[in-house]
């Protein structure tokens, strides 16, 4: 059976809780009276522990409060066809798993009809979203901006992930943060789009209905995870891992690539938007590239 994202998240949370106490896997297995190999399989998402096993592990490690509650939410429906998070606690757990999958992926695909994806956002763009769309304090905003920018290391590390991003024209025209931020964001896309591991493709308004109009999603493939899909919306996030579900999104990506501008034409399109902004707002010409 394929390892579900929720099972992997549960295993990762159990391993982190044990490591926080500086206890080796073998010593902890002996302490619990559990087979060493079974505990290892639980932590690696290869087997699903029973709720009472998870409770025993957390109690032995002294995990209490919100951390205990958060890990126990991962025990339910671990083998389900999908993982949908709606509560703030569930979304926090899924987001942590999302970041882990992103970090460990060899190939990432983002389909973004309306907004620039997080891996290509500049700090000012992130900040504008956080300030306008949330009720966070200034300190919380800056913490989240820093966390999102740190995630972008996956694209520039010594062995970077391959990244295909399909952008709707609306994402390139929406002036999140105002004209100055927008121009800086366009310039950043041109810079990142020039990297060998990034294939930035634009789908223009000239196209009729297409699969991207169904909404944004991200696809991850790596050595430690099978290909999975995360769908984002304002009120919930859903993670799909069954092959039939993933394949439908693969087809959506292929369909979008069929109508998208070529890589070279996409870069030319973004450059044209930036140039027209510079002409329209002459005082923005000195914005840092």
Structural domain boundaries of the chain? Answer: 1-80, 81-121+150-284
Given pLDDT bands bounded at 50, 70 and 90, which one contains residue 239? confident
Q: Say how many residues make up the chain.
A: 289
pLDDT at 51 over 60: yes
Which pLDDT does position 2 carry in this prediction?
47
Enter the tokens of residue 24.
Answer: 């080796």
Q: How many CB atoms lie within 10 A of CB 249?
A: 22
Average pLDDT over residues 132-138: 81
User: What spatial distance separates the first Cα and last Cα of the chain, rounded to whole Å?
Assistant: 49
What are the counts of helices (DSSP H) followed by strands (DSSP E) for the chain? 12, 7
DSSP H or E run through 204? none
**Residue percentage of the chain with pLDDT more than 90:** 64
Q: How many CB atoms lie within 10 A of CB 285?
A: 10
For domain 1-80, give the fold: 434 Repressor (Amino-terminal Domain) (1.10.260)
* Strand pairing category for 82-85 and 237-240: antiparallel
Rounded Cα distance between 282 and 276, Å, is 10
- Which range of 70-84, 124-138, 228-242 scores highest in mean pLDDT? It is 124-138
Enter the tokens of residue 94.
Answer: 């899924």
- Nearest CA among 113, 96, 116, 92 for reference residue 104: 96
Instruction: Give the predicted TM-score (pTM) of the model.
Output: 0.82
For domain 81-121+150-284, give the fold: Endonuclease; Chain A (3.30.870)
Same fold, 1-80 and 81-121+150-284: no
Given pLDDT bands bounded at 50, 70 and 90, which one contains residue 223? confident
Radius of gyration of the chain (CA): 21
pLDDT at 289 over 50: no
pLDDT at 32 over 80: yes
Which pLDDT does position 260 carry in this prediction?
98
**Residue percentage of the chain with pLDDT more than 70:** 94
pLDDT at 253 over 70: yes
Report pLDDT digits (tens) over 87-98: 777 777 778 778
CB within 8 Å of 38: residues ≥ 6 apart: 29, 47
Please state, in angstroms and as integers, the Cα–Cα distance from residue 256 to each residue in 45, 168, 204, following that order: 33, 10, 11
Given pLDDT bands bounded at 50, 70 and 90, which one contains residue 119? very high
Which pLDDT does position 283 carry in this prediction?
59
Report pLDDT digits (tens) over 152-186: 999 999 999 999 999 999 999 999 999 999 999 99
Q: Note whether 71 and 13 are within 8 A (CB).
A: yes
Which pLDDT does position 286 carry in this prediction?
53
- Nearest CA among 40, 50, 52, 56 for reference residue 79: 50
Average pLDDT over residues 189-210: 97
Average pLDDT over residues 218-235: 82
Q: How many CB atoms lie within 10 A of CB 194?
A: 10
Which residue carries 């958060």 as its tokens?
70
- Nearest CA among 204, 219, 198 for reference residue 170: 204
Rounded Cα distance between 141 and 145, Å, is 6
């Amino acid at each position: 059976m394929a390892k579900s994202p929720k099972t992997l998240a549960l295993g990762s949370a159990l391993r982190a809780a044990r490591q926080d106490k500086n206890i080796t896997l073998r010593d902890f297995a002996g302490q619990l009276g559990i087979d060493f190999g079974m505990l290892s399989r639980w932590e690696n998402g290869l087997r699903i522990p029973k709720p009472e096993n998870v409770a025993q592990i957390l109690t032995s490690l002294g995990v209490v409060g919100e951390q205990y509650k958060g890990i126990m939410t991962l025990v339910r429906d671990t083998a389900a066809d999908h993982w949908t998070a709606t509560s703030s606690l569930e979304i926090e757990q899924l987001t942590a798993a999302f970041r882990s999958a992103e970090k460990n992926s060899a190939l990432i695909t983002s389909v973004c009809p309306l907004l620039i994806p997080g891996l290509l956002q500049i700090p000012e763009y992130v900040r504008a979203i956080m300030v306008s769309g949330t009720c966070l304090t200034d300190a919380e905003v800056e913490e989240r901006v820093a966390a999102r920018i740190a995630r972008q290391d996956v694209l520039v590390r010594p062995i970077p992930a391959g990244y295909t991003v399909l952008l709707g024209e609306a994402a390139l025209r929406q002036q999140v943060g105002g004209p100055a931020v927008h121009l800086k964001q366009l310039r950043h896309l041109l810079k990142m789009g020039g990297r060998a591991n990034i294939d930035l493709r634009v789908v223009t308004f000239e196209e009729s209905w297409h699969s991207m109009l169904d909404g944004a999603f991200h696809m991850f493939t790596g050595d430690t995870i099978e290909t999975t899909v995360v769908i984002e919306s304002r009120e919930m996030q859903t993670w799909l891992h069954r092959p039939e579900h993933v394949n439908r999104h693969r087809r959506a990506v292929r369909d979008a690539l069929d109508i998208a501008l070529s890589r070279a034409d996409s870069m030319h399109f973004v450059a044209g938007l930036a140039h027209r902004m510079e002409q329209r707002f002459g005082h923005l010409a000195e914005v840092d590239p």
